[in-house]
Structure formats: structure tokens, C-alpha cells
Amino acid sequence: MPRSWPWRARWSLAALAVLGVGCSGRCGGASGAGPLSKEEARAIPGVVVFLSERAGQKDVWQVSPDGTQTQITRGPEDDYPGPVSPDGKLLLVVAVREQGGIQFQQLRVQPLAGGDAVPLHAPRARARNASWAPDGSWLVAESDAQGFSDLVRLEPREGAPEVRLTQVKEGCFEPAVSPDGKEVAFVCSREGDPEIYVTKADGTEERRLTAFHREDRSPMWSPDGQWLVFVSDREEKERLYLVRPDGSDLRAVSGSGFAGDEREPTFSPDGQRLVYVSRLPEGLSRLWMVPLAGGAPVALTDGKHRDDMPAWSPDGKYLAFTSEREGNTDVYLMRADGSGQTRLTTDKAPDWLPRWVARR
């Protein structure tokens, strides 16, 4: 029987526990090298939005590099921060509530300058993993409005019609709009296991990029649109792979420097580097950086803690990430070489899932 999303109910927006450790390849920054000076922190462009559980539920907050924090959403549902619009003015939020033992999700657009969130549709069982078009005029998301899990295209306004891009009974998932807005990469199980596909932005001219009997998932475009990175367990361990949009030049990101199951890749704004997380069962995780052109991975954190969820600053000089090194789950900041590791949030409740926003 075909497998319709073998990793089942795991939802990346809600997945906090990622694990990993190790150092093969060249080891870089140390967790004790910091913190940043207040002067340097104040000069860093942008702010970081993140999920906080300090109010007894999940809300979206904002923190500037100097540590100033403000609350953005106030429930009563759990609010998960999604991607920021290309102009930095809107945050896509997934509002989640449970009723009668059933979870309902709703995509909302939250103005970051203040104001009420705009719901894009009625609450439903599946509405998540949204990806913006480069001009911010539309987005693609998972939806069960017309099937188990289809990709739909919709505009960021209330009451806008949804255009169904896929119709596959086994389900399609995790859309990623290309940097030029002409194509959408996604995952689909129509051939019996999850594979990576690309389609035109209108859902036509679909092509399959991967063909392996295990799981390929979570595609992400490089900023120049020349590569896709994805997660695969084809070696019976989770590794990151790069592939061209036509399916050629497939290669493992870490090469011979594999240091534990890999996930959460994020490209630098200039597309020259890739930061990712490695994990092992001990409950620890580590951030690594690798040049896209090839070379040994460089460890950015020391592997003695659980460090994950990296996010690049708009200028590519800094990274926000989540760490449990002080006993709490908090948002941290560091230079892109791993130095200057600085704690940004200090609440006793978990703070996680950072998203960097450019100031406009």
C-alpha cells in the first residue's frame, strides 16, 4: 500500500525537540565566546519574532538584538509564527485550537507594525506550511478544504478564493515557492513514498525530482533558485541533500563530514552558505555551516547543549537560534562564524521558533 506521509502527524511548526551532537569536519565557534557588546547588538539590522509560552499558551513575541521584547499576538488560540512576507511588514501566523478532540488550524496575516490579524479562511483540520511568493501578492499552503492534503494558492486577504494546485489522494505537503515565483517545490506520496516534485506556480507541468524508496521531504530553494535542499533518510539516517531544479547534481550537503541526523537547513541571504542542525539520541544538537560550493562543515556551537532552529539576519552576518544551555529554552544570537553567542530571552517559559525580520 502507498504510504501517505510516513512521518505521520509530525508538524514542523510545533516540533521543539531536535537532537544532535558531534564534530567531524572542522570545529568552529565556542559557546563561551561572547556575549556581544550592547553597541554591536544595537547596530544589528532587523528584529527576531519567536514563539513564547510565557502566557500559558503559545503566542508570538518580538525581540530586538539589544534584548527589547514586545508581544505581537494574544490568543486565545495557540499562535505559531510562520514565514515573514518579503517586504517584512506581515507575519503569517498559524492559529491552532482544539475542540471536541479535533485540532483546528487557521492561517492569519499579522501586521508587524500593529493591528488585528486577518484570517485567510475558516478554521480547518489542515492549514499550514505556507510559503510566500517573492512579491508578497500570494502564497501557497497545505489545505484539507477539498481533500486529505492539497496545495492551494491564495492571496493574503480575508475572503480571497483558494486555487487548488494538486489533487492527490495520498496527499501533497510542504510547498516552497521559488525565488522568481514561477515554480513551487513540494512533497507528494502519489508514487508510494514521499518524493520531491516541482510544478509551475499554476499547478501545471509537474515534474518529479527524486525517486527513492525511502522518504524525501522538506524542500527549500536557494536564494538564486539554482538549488533545492531537502531531508532524506535514504541512507537509513536523516541527511540533507542538494539537487538542481531539473533533478541533476544530487549530493549530500555534509559530504564526509556527517555528524548525526541533519535537519532545519537555512540558506544565507547571499546563497553562499548553508546552516543546519545535526542531532543524536543523547538529547543534544549542534549548529553547522557549510559552503554551498562544497567543503567540510564547520561547527558553530560546541555540541554540549541542545542548539537548533537557526535563522539568518537580513545582512547575513548573524544568526538567531534556540538553545537550552541555561536550563530554559531561549532565543540566542551569534555572529555567523559562531562567536559572540548571546542570550536574548530569559523568561522561565519556553521561547523558540525564531524568525528574523528586516526593519523597513
Work out the average pLDDT over 316-344: 96
Say if strands 298-299 and 307-312 run parallel, antiparallel, or are unpaired: unpaired
Q: Write the pLDDT tens digit of every residue in 81-93.
A: 999 999 999 999 9
The reported pTM is 0.89
Work out the average pLDDT over 156-163: 92
pLDDT number for residue 213: 84
Instruction: Report the distance separating Cα 143 and Cα 139, nearest Å.
Output: 12
Is 50 exceeded by the pLDDT of residue 5?
A: no
Q: Exposed/middle/buried for 300, CB within 10 Å: 0-12, 13-18, 19+?
A: buried
pLDDT number for residue 86: 95
> What string of DSSP letters covers 105-138?
EEEEEEETTSS--EE-S--BS-EEEEEE-TTSS-
pLDDT number for residue 33: 56
Which of these ranges, 4-8, 176-180, 222-226, 286-290, has the smallest mean pLDDT? 4-8
Contacts of 186 (CB under 8 A, 6+ apart): 151, 166, 172, 173, 174, 175, 176, 196, 197, 198, 199, 219
Work out the average pLDDT over 180-198: 94
Phi, psi of 186 (to 5 degrees): -165, 175
Q: Write the pLDDT tens digit of every residue in 278-290.
A: 997 788 999 999 9
Is 60 exceeded by the pLDDT of residue 6?
A: no
SS3 194: coil
Is 90 exceeded by the pLDDT of residue 23?
A: no
Is 70 exceeded by the pLDDT of residue 12?
A: no
pLDDT number for residue 214: 87
Is 50 exceeded by the pLDDT of residue 238?
A: yes
Q: Write the pLDDT tens digit of every residue in 297-317.
A: 999 999 999 999 999 999 999
pLDDT number for residue 179: 98
Contact 81, 51 (CB under 8 A): yes
Reported as a pLDDT band with limits 50, 70 and 90, residue 360 is: low
Largest CA distance in the chain: 59
SS3 347: coil
Reported as a pLDDT band with limits 50, 70 and 90, residue 192 is: confident
> What string of DSSP letters covers 298-317?
EESS-SSSBEEEEEE-TTSS
Q: Write the pLDDT tens digit of every residue in 239-250.
A: 999 999 999 999
Bridge partners of 50? 61
Is 50 exceeded by the pLDDT of residue 357?
A: yes
Is 90 exceeded by the pLDDT of residue 294?
A: no
Contact 138, 153 (CB under 8 A): yes
Phi, psi of 94 (to 5 degrees): -105, 110
Is 60 exceeded by the pLDDT of residue 79?
A: yes
pLDDT number for residue 190: 87
Phi, psi of 38 (to 5 degrees): -60, -35
pLDDT number for residue 15: 35
Work out the average pLDDT over 65-88: 94
SS (H, E, C) 204-251: CCCEECCCCCCCEEEEEECCCCCCEEEEECCCCCCEEEEECCCCCCCE
* Whole-Å CA distances, 35 to 67, 258, 336, 341, 350: 12, 29, 14, 5, 21
Reported as a pLDDT band with limits 50, 70 and 90, residue 99 is: confident
Reported as a pLDDT band with limits 50, 70 and 90, residue 332 is: very high
Bridge partners of 266? 275
pLDDT number for residue 256: 87
pLDDT number for residue 341: 97
Reported as a pLDDT band with limits 50, 70 and 90, residue 3 is: very low
Is 50 exceeded by the pLDDT of residue 14?
A: no
pLDDT number for residue 1: 29
More confident residue, 87 or 6: 87
